[in-house]
Amino acid sequence: MREDFHDELARVNSSLVAMAKAVREAMRQASVALLTGDYPLAQRVAAQDAQVDVLYRLVDERVLQLIARQQPVADDLRSVLTALQAAADLERMGDLAVHIARAALRRHPSIAVSPELVDLFQAMSTVADQLAAKIVVALSDRDEVLAAQLDADDDAMDQLHRRLFQVMLDPEWPLGVEAAVDGALLGRYYERYADHAVNVGRHILFLVIGKADS
């Protein structure tokens, strides 16, 4: 019975790994599309989100089957339910990558990010990718040390997000309202992507070592 429980939990985990890889790739591609104005790439990001949704339903289904078959209680039950929360956060990360891709589509053939903000958004996309990469490894290797780092890693995103608003609200800001509105929303999408990555890190801690998910 216990062997079965851990086998089934491992299968749930493998679907989470697949989700994490997909939402990492989605954000990488969305960021490239945003910064280079690559219309077909942005379209691809939007279309591929359906795969993340399929994986989400797979996690959901596997968790339900696991609970019904194994009837876990206490910490085991909590671990299993944590997988559902991680899947929900990953699904949302995929949605945010799509929002970024859509911003690229909306401004085509212009580039949605004004030249003054390219470096900042390049840096935000790098942090987002590092967070997602860490989630993939932490889930794959059940590495609680990596998972625990995500919270601190997010500080880099918060700093970039604050810097973004300083730049846009500077009286010297040379651009108009549209560029600032785009900047504010895009900044929010990257920040939220990172917030969800931190949540996933907390869920992994619980999945791996049963540590309190505070």
- Judged by the rule CB under 8 A, the positions of this chain that interact with its own copies are 63-64, 67-68, 71, 73-74, 77-78, 81, 84-85, 88, 165, 168-169, 173, 176-178, 180-181, 183-185, 188
Q: Minimum CB separation from its own copies for residue 63, in Å? A: 8
Tokens read off for 69: 């078959």
The residue among 63 and 124 lying less far from its own copies, judged by its C-beta, is 63
Please count the helices (runs of H) and the strands (runs of E) in the chain.
6, 0
Tell me the residue length of the chain. 214
As a whole number of angstroms, the distance between CA 73 and CA 76 comes to 6
- 123 or 180, CB closer to its own copies? 180
C-alpha atoms less than 13 angstroms from C-alpha of 124 in its C-beta half-sphere: 32
Least separation in angstroms between residue 56's CB and its own copies is: 12
Least Å from the CB of residue 184 to its own copies: 4
Toward its own copies, which CB reaches closer, 133 or 210? Answer: 210
Least distance (Å) between residue 158 CB and its own copies: 15
Residue closer to its own copies, measured from CB, 28 or 62: 62
Please report, as a single letter, which amino acid is at residue 41: L
Q: At closest approach, how far in Å is the CB of 181 from its own copies?
A: 4
Tokens 């995929």, residue?
94
**Minimum Å distance from CB 101 to its own copies?**
17
The residue (of 14 and 85) whose beta carbon lies closer to its own copies is: 85
**Nearer of residues 6 and 165 to its own copies, judged by Cβ:** 165
Question: DSSP strand E in the chain: where?
Answer: none
Give the angle 159-162-166 at the CA atoms, nearest 5°.
135
Please give the Cα distance from 27 to 193 (Å, whole number). Answer: 9
Nearest to 160, CA basis, from 196, 122, 134: 122
Structure tokens at 9: 């939990």
Alpha carbon separation from 172 to 44, 175, 180, 182 (Å, rounded): 37, 9, 13, 18
